[in-house]
Amino acid sequence: MRYKNVCIESLGYTLPDEVVTTAEIERRLEPLYTRLRLPEGRLELMTGIRERRFWQPGTLPSDKSIESGEKAIRAAGIDRAHIGALIHASVCRDHLEPATACRVHHALELLPECMIYDVSNACLGVLNGIVQIANMIELGQIRAGLVVGTEGSRQLVETTINALNRDTTLTRQQLKLAVASLTIGSASCGVLLTDRELSQTDNRLLVATARANTAHHRLCHSGHDEAVADGMQPLMTTDSERLMQEGIATGVDTFTAFLAECGWSPASLERTFC
């Protein structure tokens, strides 16, 4: 997917104030650590993660998506009337219905003509939203579009801690499936895209490449809890080692295809991030 008329105009983000250390989580797992004779510091040693952040209890995803979206709009300095699409693109949502984008759209005072909907695709939702907005701009359907998303990790981490301490049959091997659930954090972002005529930065989006390796879809999956927002009591199992291996392999294939599509060489890249 190549673009001639799309710019990533501005970013906005919001972070929680509450910092939760890995050491604190290990202290709460003391019954499990004692039973399995696990050394303190094991979780941080395995993952390299020292801390993560939590929203205050009762925080809705839309609360922070509104903040991040407002920051992105103000940073771009454009008239809200130009925003023709709003996508809320996180796993976390206020409710199953209506779309969380509804409340964000209302709070940001966007026009009734602005298309709104939710996209949820694990950690790729915001990137999917960016591509969808870029496609609309490239086709001339809209002048500008906003992607927002807010993830909250408190419920998953706390539910996982309680489940691990409660299950006295759990083995060290089984514990590995819960490690990823103890590492995640919370954050919110907004990404505003415009056409080149409207842009004041000319910070262009040139190419997007996508690949799906769905043979490994069972490596990470949640439980059956269908509640959302602060009412969630989710559990998730993740084969972290296999997921990392297969994710890297898929990433290599995708990056190779990306370079071929845009005509760049690895040596020409000054910055990359994953």
* Residues with catalytic roles: 97, 123
Show the CA angle centred on residue 85, arms to residues 79 and 89, nearest 5°: 120
Gap between the Cα atoms of 139 and 161, Å rounded: 48
Residue 192 sits at φ, ψ, to 5 deg, of: -105, 125
Q: Going along 105-253, which residue ranges are E strands?
A: 115-118, 144-151, 187-195, 220-222, 236-238
For residue 6, with 0-12 CB atoms within 10 Å meaning exposed, 13-18 middle and 19 or more buried, which class applies?
Answer: buried
Q: How many CB atoms lie within 10 A of CB 253?
A: 13
- In angstroms, rounded to a whole number, what is the distance separating the alpha carbons of residues 136 and 190? 18
